[in-house]
Amino acid sequence: MPTFGEKLRTLREKQGISLRQLASMLAINSHSFISEIETGKKKPSLELVIKVSDLFNVPLEQLARDELDLDG
């Protein structure tokens, strides 16, 4: 199952949105933070997942499902 970051990258690229544009749309100061989420180096906050869900009109559960860690 793709990670949230992989889903975010796919959504962004399908819309032709750059990292800088997406950061601006999500009110995030650093486009590198988006890149780190897309590559799995950082985990998104719930607030960010909700913003992405709203922005791309994708159900929250579909974006966040793989982020649930039942082992730890």
Q: Quick check: is 70 in a domain?
A: no
DSSP 34: H
By 3-state DSSP, what share of the chain in percent is helix, strand and coil, each rounded to 5?
A: 60, 0, 40
* Host domain of residue 11: 4-56
In a domain, 68, yes or no: no
How many domains is the chain partitioned into structurally?
1
pTM, 2 dp: 0.86
Copy the structure tokens of residue 70.
């039942």
- Return per-residue pLDDT of the chain as tens, 72 residues: 789 999 999 999 999 999 999 999 999 999 999 999 999 999 999 999 999 999 999 999 888 776 444 444
CATH number reported for the structural domain that contains residue 25 in this entry: 1.10.260.40
